[in-house]
Amino acid sequence: MLARTERLDASRLDRAFEALHTTSPAGTIMASMDAARALLQRDGERLLSVTIDAVAEARDALRRVPGVVVLEGPIVDAAKLTVSIAGTGAHGVEVESDLMAAGVPVEMADRDTIVAICTLADDASTLRRYTAALTEAIERRRGAPRPVTTAAGWIVSPQQQVAPRDAFFGPVETVAFGDAIGRVSAELVALYPPGVPVLAPGELVTEQTLTALTEAAADGIRVAYAADPGLATLQVLK
């Protein structure tokens, strides 16, 4: 995006862009959707059966790794492989780095959870490769078991003080992160994963909010949308 920043507030433009831009695919990629639909109509049952069987085999293998808990049940997506590794003591962000280095990136990882989404391109061979790489990474990073920590986006209770639009377009100032307690946020701050906002425009900045963000960032979780991803400062209403 090109902007004449001498004519507008570059910081506000950045906040607007982060709030409104999309990660949706380009039109040329969207054009392939009909071909994908046709493939599923013709061969979907056969292809999905191969993937689902391979995921089931991978779940069985991971269930045997000490400390690993495999998410399963009737409402769990049969093509999604989610495990909790808190019981192994390994750090999920570090394990994810090992997986990427091994050429098997996953959908998401935080300190305690690894999520792999399997596709029609996956079969027993690709899932065995993933299972082996994940097991190896866990063993390399194994430590003292710990309790599972809930993502900050789920535990912080938002306290809306001002309408989001009014906060977003209102007069703002930048303050030190620790000094923002008791002020009203003018920006959106989320942790990725899971991408759920911990703080939104118009919400009261509380000590719980800042603590949750600080601890997650220290744990290697990416801070998204914030004007200062390093969390040294925060934009609040004047």
pLDDT at res. 102: 95
Distance separating alpha carbons of residues 64 and 177, to the nearest angstrom: 44
Burial class for 99, CB neighbours closer than 10 Å (0-12, 13-18, 19+): buried
Whether residue 136 lies inside any domain: the answer is yes
Indicate which CATH number applies to the domain containing 78: 3.90.1150.10
Do 128 and 184 share a domain, yes or no? no
> What phi and psi values does residue 190 have, to the nearest 5 degrees?
-135, 160
From first to last of its 238 residues, the chain has per-residue pLDDT tens of: 778 888 888 888 888 888 777 777 677 777 788 888 899 999 999 999 999 999 999 999 999 999 999 999 989 999 999 999 999 999 999 999 999 999 999 999 989 999 999 998 899 999 999 999 999 999 999 999 999 887 777 888 899 999 999 998 999 999 999 999 999 999 999 988 888 899 999 999 999 999 999 988 888 888 999 999 999 999 999 9
CB 227 within 8 A of CB 19: no
Distance separating alpha carbons of residues 235 and 176, to the nearest angstrom: 9
Q: Which one of 141, 162, 187 terminates a domain?
A: 141
Do 64 and 116 share a domain, yes or no? yes
pLDDT at res. 21: 78
Do 115 and 180 share a domain, yes or no? no
DSSP assignment string, the chain: ----TTSS-HHHHHHHHHHH---PPPHHHHTTHHHHHHHHHHHHHHHHHHHHHHHHHHHHHHHTSTT-EE--STTS-TTEEEEE-GGGT--HHHHHHHHHHTT---SEE-SSEEEEE--TT--HHHHHHHHHHHHHHHHHH-----PPPPPHHHH----B-S-HHHHHHS-EEEEEGGGGTTSBB-S-EEEETT--EEE-TTBBP-HHHHHHHHHHHHTTPEEES-SSTT-SEEEEE-
Whether residue 203 lies inside any domain: the answer is yes
As given in the structure block, the two tokens for residue 11 are 């910081």
pLDDT at res. 56: 95
Whether residue 148 lies inside any domain: the answer is no
Is the omega angle on the peptide bond into residue 74 within 30 degrees of 0, that is, cis?
no
Whether residue 10 lies inside any domain: the answer is no
* 44-49, Cβ contacts within 8 angstroms, sequence gap of 24 or more: 47/120, 48/79, 48/120
Whether residue 174 lies inside any domain: the answer is yes
What is the sign of the dihedral through the CA atoms of 230, 232, 237 and 238? negative
pLDDT at res. 213: 92
As given in the structure block, the two tokens for residue 9 are 């507030």
pLDDT at res. 14: 84
Do 67 and 118 share a domain, yes or no? yes
Whether residue 213 lies inside any domain: the answer is yes
pLDDT at res. 93: 92
Q: How many domains does the chain have?
A: 2
pLDDT at res. 196: 86
pLDDT at res. 25: 67
Distance separating alpha carbons of residues 54 and 62, to the nearest angstrom: 12
Indicate which CATH number applies to the domain containing 178: 3.90.100.10
Distance separating alpha carbons of residues 148 and 7, to the nearest angstrom: 48
Do 70 and 114 share a domain, yes or no? yes
Distances from the Cα of 132 to the Cα of 53, 193, 215, 219, angstroms: 17, 24, 31, 25
Q: Which domain, by its residues, includes 173? A: 153-237
